[in-house]
């Protein structure tokens, strides 16, 4: 309750639309993490309304592509996933309308991730492939790496360990090449999960320690 009060205070003190949009994003993310979905939905709608009334493309993009909507637990109801997919698809449509291929790619990554978490691996794989192909047409290396990681996650979920390993390795090499420490750490975690699934605990631990060292 204290944290929510603190985030609400930040929103109430916001001096402009940009600060309000950012404050809404943080509050919505907090609500969703703790599965307060109704409150999270309400704040997201408020955030979109502020961004839309501001007539700022940048603020609308910020509202549509915040992290909050992706904070869904593995045991969430189908209705929760449907709402998240609806929101992400709204972002996809907007990204297409303004010609932002980077956000188009990010949308497909998110759609793939939501289907994967829901257990619909066929749709997840379909959208992940679109994201991976789309990522080849953009300059943002972080999104390229994230697209590869998501594709690897789906291979792993499908039990295709070799393909998962190859895809993760490609993502890691790109992260090293671009000196992206955060995504290097992310891939180390994926390697750890992969080795755990193969009952190779020592190598899994080794990868987690490498991630810890980077952190």
One-character DSSP codes across 157-199? HTT-HHHHHHHHHHHHHHHHHTT-HHHHHHHHHHHHHHHHHTT
Find the mean pLDDT for residues 135-158.
96
CA distance 46 to 53: 11
Q: Is the pLDDT confidence value at 74 over 80?
A: no
SS3 99: coil
pLDDT of amino acid 72: 84
The pair of three-digit structure tokens given for residue 175, joined into one six-digit string: 């992260």
Query: Does position 199 have pLDDT exceeding 80, yes or no?
Result: yes
- Residue 73: the pLDDT is 77
Kindly state the tokens that stand for 131.
């994201």
Angle of the 57-64 helix axis to the 78-97 helix axis, nearest 10: 150
How far apart are the C-alpha atoms of 87 and 21, rounded to whole Å? 16
- The pLDDT of residue 188 is 98
d(CA 205, CA 69): 31
Which pLDDT value is given to residue 108? 98
pLDDT-derived band at 76 (thresholds 50, 70, 90) equals confident
Averaged pLDDT score across all residues of the chain: 94
Q: Which two tokens stand for residue 128?
A: 């992940």
Q: HSE, CB side, 13 Å, CA atoms: give it for residue 159.
A: 1
- SS3 letters for 2-15? HHHHHHHHHHHHCC
């Amino acid at each position: 309750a204290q944290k929510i009060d603190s985030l609400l205070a930040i929103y109430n003190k916001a001096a402009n639309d940009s600060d309000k949009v950012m404050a809404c994003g943080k509050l919505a993310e907090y609500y969703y993490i703790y599965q307060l979905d109704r409150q999270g939905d309400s704040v997201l709608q408020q955030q979109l309304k502020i961004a839309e009334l501001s007539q700022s493309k940048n603020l609308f993009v910020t509202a549509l592509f915040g992290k909050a909507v992706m904070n869904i637990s593995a045991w969430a109801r189908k209705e929760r996933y449907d709402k998240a997919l609806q929101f992400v698809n709204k972002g996809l449509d907007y990204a297409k309308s303004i010609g932002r291929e980077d956000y188009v790619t990010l949308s497909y990554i998110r759609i793939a991730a939501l289907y994967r978490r829901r257990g619909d691996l066929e749709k997840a794989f379909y959208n992940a492939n679109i994201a991976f192909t789309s990522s080849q047409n953009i300059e943002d290396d972080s999104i390229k790496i994230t697209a590869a990681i998501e594709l690897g996650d789906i291979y792993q979920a499908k039990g295709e360990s070799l393909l998962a390993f190859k895809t993760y390795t490609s993502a890691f090499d790109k992260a090293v090449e671009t000196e992206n420490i955060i995504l290097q750490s992310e891939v180390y975690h994926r390697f750890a999960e992969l080795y755990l699934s193969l009952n190779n605990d020592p190598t899994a631990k080794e990868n987690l320690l490498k991630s810890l060292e980077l952190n």
